[in-house]
Amino acid sequence: MLLDGASSWGVLICLTGAAAGITFAAAGKQARHELLVSASLALTPVPVIAAAFASALAIPHPMAIAIVLAACLAAGAGLVATLLSRAQPSAAGGGWRRDLLDGLLAGDGVFSLCWTLGLMNGFGPFRLGEQRSLIGAALAGVCLITALCLVTVLRAGRPWPRNVTVAMGLLLIVIADAILTLAVVKEKTGMWVAGPAAFIALGCIILGWGTRFPRPANASPGTWPLAPFGVFPAFLAVASICSAATIQAVRMHSLDLGIATTGIPLAILLGLRIALALSEARRSALQLTEREAEYWRMANLDPLTALSNRRRLWQALDERARRQAGGPSCTLLVIDLDGFKDINDLNGHDVGDEVLVEVGKRLQAALGPDDLAIRLGGDEFAALISASQDRAGRAAVRLLSALCRPYQVDGVTVHLGASIGYADSVTAKSPKELMRNADLALRLAKQRGKSRIEAFDVAYDKTLQRRLVIEHDLRGSGKRKELSLAYQPIVDLASGRIVGAEALLRWQHPLLGAISPDEFVQIAEEAGLIGELGAWVIEHTCRELAASYRRGRTLWMSANVSLRELRAPRYADRIAATLRRHGVPPSLLVLEMTESAAAQDIAQLSGVLQTLRALGVRIALDDFGAGYSSLGQLRRLPVDILKIDRELVAEPPRAPALQDAPLVDVIVTLGHRLGLQVIAEGVETAGQREVVESDGCQLCQGFYFAGPLSPGELDRLLQEQPAYAPV
């Protein structure tokens, strides 16, 4: 009957061959894995066809078995080649071996179940005699190849459209193989054979078409984390063979020899699979340990110096804080390299990195085995010492000595200093507070002179807290109307009239009360807020000048300016705009700068001062005689007024026969020779007035005449004297 249906089998062979060819043509060049799977799937009917023809042609039984097994090997070769070609290194290794064992396990189990169903009366009993083993061999080949295909496709990766389409083609081919096997068992032809042939052809075409879908850029084989699928083949094998044995025992009251024999390879395969799983687990554990160690190094060690990093320091501080209850204290040292930026700028960052590495080595060598050396970042280091503050102080001395030794890097000798601040854990309630205290000590060390060591001082902490409050509240203090100006008169000794006034800035803090200008002006300089304060002073000085000028007075006023303000871009333009806005003649405004500030950058200052003088604004040199400027520098500075420092006015005679304030007459004479006005500051007694007047100084300022006055008090004082011309 099989030979009568030879035409049907011919259709099957032709369609299968055509399907394989179409699959190869449809698949892309980069889909070599899918090509091998397609070829193997196209050959899955071959064992069944071989079994059918061997039975129909009465080929001797051993030879027929050999033909069927050869067909199985030919069909399975493509799957094995696919597994080998798609094998990629995995974390645990053994990828292709795992897939092969899983496929064999699944195939063995499916075969046992299919064989049992074929023996059941409801399915149609076999009447094949020797063909029974022949069909069994063919069925085993189909089951194994199909299982290998399933494993290959399911291991391919995430269910992108590409994999879903390939799986649909595979499903059609598996269904066709099942129907075809049933046709051989029941000796059917016609549509029983032609139908599966069409299914196989359609499945191969869909599979080949699916390989044309592009793989997503972020997809990679084996990235579908299906943990349950890892045990699915073994579960399927055991469940299938157990189901087959149960069905035979219950329905057929016997145990077929084929089912019994499938248990032997199943046990062997399961043993191999378990051994492979254990090997993979050991490799995974080893790699996990190595990666964990690497991640720990990346998270806790500095990559350049191999010292602990800031994160490791916080961990160590937390650990010691938990253990410290009643135990020994620890001390944290914070180290900043002095002059390291110059090394990078002059010698390059490569040399700088080598220096940092050497610093790390010296730091590590100077510490004990229980101490922790840390690189905080940049040129900042730290050391956590298990000792009291006294012992840590001695360790800091050793560290400073080691770090200040010359460094030899690529034939270049590098010299560095280091500032060290340290704090004991007994001074802090938490690791954050300990770190803050050590940072404060380091700040104090840098303020008092670099390359020195300072311990945390509670008094300095209070000073810094006050400083931080002042710095914070200085911002916007003018808008909050906390600032004010007081005016100290400048008197002409010849007439006794007030000819000018110096505007003095005052700040009434809502919590701290009146704060001395000597304190908050310096903080404003360091915090970069002096420009904001200076602009407020000029604005309100010009406003007061405008009010005085509208009353017919020609009183001039002076305001102090800092070197930072004078260096600001377009400073002269802003002064000119303020004068125009208030309608004040420029000659009524005097800008005072200290002698020490003027001596720092005469070349740059001269241009700015010349521009201001060209506007009509006058320039005064304040605190003259207290600095270190030479006569040559004075000659180069474009100034109009010299203000003699109060210390020189109050200076006692150097010998009993000599007069008080011996340098005043020298400065007065010098100023007059240079065509400058001279003002004596700090005149507080009648005797000091007589001395400066006898030395030829006609303009004086001090508490002997009047202290700083409010605008209203100054206005009342000016009303008591007649109008006058500017000096």
Measuring CA to CA, how many Å separate 583 from each of 503, 588, 612, 618, 664? 19, 11, 17, 17, 37
Which residues does 3 contact at the CB level (< 8 Å), separation at least 6?
A: 56, 57
pLDDT band, very low/low/confident/very high, at 563 (cuts 50, 70, 90): confident
Residue 82 has pLDDT above 60, yes or no: no
Mean of pLDDT over the chain: 76
325-328-329-331 Cα dihedral, nearest 10 degrees: -140
Q: What is the pLDDT averaged over residues 241-257?
A: 58
Give kind and range of the element (H or E) at residue 676: none
Pairing of strands 407-409, 417-424: unpaired
Which residues does 614 contact at the CB level (< 8 Å), separation at least 6?
A: none
Closest by CA position to 594, among listed 628, 569, 568:
628
432, 482 contact by CB (below 8 A)? no
Residue 407: DSSP 8-state: E
Which two tokens mark 498? 């007030």
> Listing from the earlier edge strand, what are the strands of the sheet with 331-338?
372-377, 380-385, 331-338, 417-424, 453-455
**17 vs 13: CA distance, rounded Å:** 6
Pairing of strands 331-338, 417-424: antiparallel
Q: What is the pLDDT averaged over residues 599-616?
A: 84
Check residues 200 and 29 and name the one with the higher pLDDT.
200
pLDDT in tens, 497-526: 999 999 999 999 999 999 999 999 989 988
Q: What is the pLDDT averaged over residues 103-123?
A: 55
Phi-psi region of 213 (alpha: psi -120 to 50; beta: other; left: phi over 0): beta
Q: Which of 243-247, 430-434, 489-493, 539-543 has the lowest mean pLDDT?
A: 243-247
Phi, psi of 642 (to 5 degrees): -110, 130
Cα dihedral sign, 532-534-540-542: negative
Q: Which of 128-132, 545-549, 674-678, 721-725 has the lowest mean pLDDT?
A: 128-132
* Number of Cβ atoms within 10 Å of the Cβ of 397: 12
Pairing of strands 589-594, 618-624: parallel
Residue 63 has pLDDT above 80, yes or no: no
Which residues does 255 contact at the CB level (< 8 Å), separation at least 6?
A: 245, 248, 249
Amino acid 577: pLDDT: 96
CA 513 to chain centroid, in Å, comes to 43
pLDDT in tens, 651-683: 766 545 456 667 888 899 989 998 999 999 999
pLDDT in tens, 17-57: 555 555 555 555 445 555 555 555 555 565 555 555 555 55
pLDDT in tens, 440-481: 999 888 888 888 999 998 888 888 889 889 999 999 999 999
Residue carrying structure tokens 């066809």: 49
> Does 469-719 carry CATH code 3.30.70.920?
no
Domain ranges of the chain: 6-283, 310-456, 469-719
DSSP 500-528: EEEEEEEEEETTTEEE-HHHHHHHHHHHT
**491 vs 493: CA distance, rounded Å:** 6
Q: Is residue 594 helix, strand or coil?
A: strand
pTM assigned to the model = 0.59
CATH H superfamily, domain 310-456: Reverse transcriptase/Diguanylate cyclase domain (3.30.70.270)
